[in-house]
Chain A
Amino acid sequence: MATRILIVGGGLAGTIIANGLCRQVGDEISKGNISITMLGTSETHMYQPGLLYVPFGKIREKELFRPQRKVLDKKIIFHVDPAKNIDVDSQKVTTESGKVYEYDYLVIATGSRIMPQNIPGMVEGAHWLYDLDGARKMRDALEAFEGGKIVVNVNAPHKCPVAPVEITFMLHDYLSKKGLMDKTEITYTYPIGRVHALEPVAEWAKPAMDQHGIKYETFFNTKEVDPKAKTISSEEGVTLNYDFLVTIPPHNGAEIITNSGLGDGGWVPTNKTKLLREGSENVFVCGDTTNIPISKAGSTAHFEADTIIDNLTSLITEKRWARDYDGKVFCFVETGMNSGTYVWFDYNTPPNPGAPSQMIHWFKLAYNRLYWLSARGLL
């Protein structure tokens, strides 16, 4: 009988793994010795980092989407039928439509989602760009904005650690070009005692904010938003007035994870080098949904996925473990509309960024387009 690999989630992590496996064991799939089935929520794959450009009118919405079946290798069996329950004891996944999928190896790659509803008043009072609907609304509101107090509010946990500083500087650029910065004050809030979790990013961003006249409020964990009074308050006792509130809402993992009893908040307890669910030998976890204390980012998903592809291939074809994940994360950082930098680190190497340059900005733009190649397993 064929070895059955079941992948739940067709976002970045799930897609890279599925395509990567086809490259490694394509022959075995063709011979019927291995099968790969993916359960997803949509026929379209969205390029999430592209959302960053939507509020500033810098990307056409069409560029964010590709048909998932075109991104996937044809050998993959893809069903738009979201998983409803994952039972790791009996090795079965039940879907919304009532179908039951048995597996020999399971990959959980259900990502993370924004939870603005977890903070009173946030849904009514704030803008965000972490989903398409929010990004569109923010674009319309920004177009109508005529100056005033802007608060860029960051909550933990959230994916893409660099997005908050990018949004802040992009807002500054955008409003400067519109001639509105002399009528505008931007205040950035961050949960811990510096302006970014990554020390070198904080060291670069703080003076850059000073230079641009951007204010910051550190140790700010949002307690509530009052949409009528237009105020945002922190657990630490600070209240700020705003005319325009942009938030990076707190995140949770997917609902199915909590509903299946696989992890509080939707985060699956995962071995940080093996990428196996704690307590399972045949359940891999990849991308945002792990509880591993590293950045929830596309590059993390990518490096983890490469490790899982190697290990699944070796386990199935040679019954041996190939290699461990070293905690590698790489992030491009947009430092304005025309300049960028990057930073990388792993479990043992602290982060160290290069100097911002226009060159790196262009790399990031190129990378935006290369996303589809990497999802297809070609990078």
Chain B
Amino acid sequence: MSERKTIDARGSFCPGPLMELIAALKLVQIGDEIEILSTDKGTVNDVPEWVAKVGHEMGEITEKGDHWSVVVKKAK
């Protein structure tokens, strides 16, 4: 069964949402999803750019008032 884990990286300037996502993906199984919450608008571009390079799958990107939710599925 695939699972979804949420990382609350709101207000994280260092290491920041993308680095948190990279670290979190190392701890889950292929097929699992990570939802990353971020107050940094850059995340909306950074994450898809990296996901495309590395070969995971992008899920939904949702604006939630003062922050964004970005979902990534581990594909390899």
Same complex: yes
A residues neighboring B (CB under 8 Å)? 118, 156-157, 161, 191-193, 197-199, 219, 221, 235-237, 250, 264-265, 272, 293-295, 327, 329, 345, 347-348, 350-351
B54 touches A235 (CB 8 A): yes
Indicate with 1 or 0, residue by residue over B6-33, a CB within 8 angstroms of chain A CB atoms.
0111011111111110110011000000
The residues of A that contact B49 with a CB separation of less than 8 Å are 193, 219
Q: How far does the Cβ of A352 sit from chain B's closest Cβ, in whole Å?
A: 10
The residues of A that contact B26 with a CB separation of less than 8 Å are 118, 250, 265
A265 touches B19 (CB 8 A): no
The residues of B that contact A345 with a CB separation of less than 8 Å are 13-14
B12 touches A293 (CB 8 A): yes
Most A Cβ at <10 Å: residue of B8, B13, B15, B27: B13
B27 touches A264 (CB 8 A): yes
B50 touches A293 (CB 8 A): no
B residues neighboring A (CB under 8 Å)? 7-9, 11-20, 22-23, 26-27, 46, 49-50, 53-55, 76
Q: How far does the Cβ of A224 sit from chain B's closest Cβ, in whole Å?
A: 13
B11 touches A192 (CB 8 A): no
The residues of A that contact B55 with a CB separation of less than 8 Å are 235
In whole angstroms, what is the CA distance A329 to B12 when docked? 11
A-B contacts at CB below 8 angstroms, number: 73
B11 touches A197 (CB 8 A): no
Main SS of the interface on chain B?
mixed
Taking A156-B22, A294-B12, A351-B13 as known contacts, 19 extra A-B pairs with beta carbons closer than 8 A to each other, sorted by chain A number, are: A118-B26, A157-B15, A192-B22, A193-B50, A198-B14, A219-B49, A219-B53, A219-B54, A221-B22, A235-B54, A235-B55, A235-B76, A236-B54, A264-B27, A265-B27, A293-B12, A294-B14, A294-B15, A351-B14
In whole angstroms, what is the CA distance A235 to B54 when docked? 6
In whole angstroms, what is the CA distance A264 to B29 when docked? 12
Main SS of the interface on chain A?
loop
> Of B11, B15, B27, which one neighbours A347 at CB under 8 angstroms?
B11
A348 touches B11 (CB 8 A): yes
* 4 interchain residue pairs of minimum CB distance: A347-B11, A293-B12, A157-B23, A197-B15
Q: How far does the Cβ of B40 sit from chain A's closest Cβ, in whole Å?
A: 9
B9 touches A293 (CB 8 A): yes
> Of A161, A236, A265, A272, which one neighbours B14 at CB under 8 angstroms?
A161
B12 touches A221 (CB 8 A): no
In whole angstroms, what is the CA distance A319 to B30 when docked? 46
Beta-carbon nearest neighbor of A115 in chain B: B26
B13 touches A192 (CB 8 A): no
Q: How far does the Cβ of B38 sit from chain A's closest Cβ, in whole Å?
A: 10
Can you show 27 pairs from A to B with CB atoms below 8 A apart?
A: A156-B15, A157-B20, A161-B14, A161-B15, A191-B18, A192-B16, A192-B22, A193-B50, A198-B14, A199-B13, A219-B49, A221-B54, A235-B55, A236-B54, A250-B23, A264-B27, A265-B23, A293-B7, A293-B8, A293-B12, A293-B16, A293-B20, A294-B14, A295-B14, A295-B15, A329-B14, A351-B13
Known: A236-B53, A265-B26, A265-B27. A192 touches B14 (CB 8 A): no
Beta-carbon nearest neighbor of A351 in chain B: B13
Beta-carbon nearest neighbor of A238 in chain B: B53
The residues of A that contact B17 with a CB separation of less than 8 Å are 293
B19 touches A350 (CB 8 A): no
Q: How far does the Cβ of A256 sit from chain B's closest Cβ, in whole Å?
A: 17
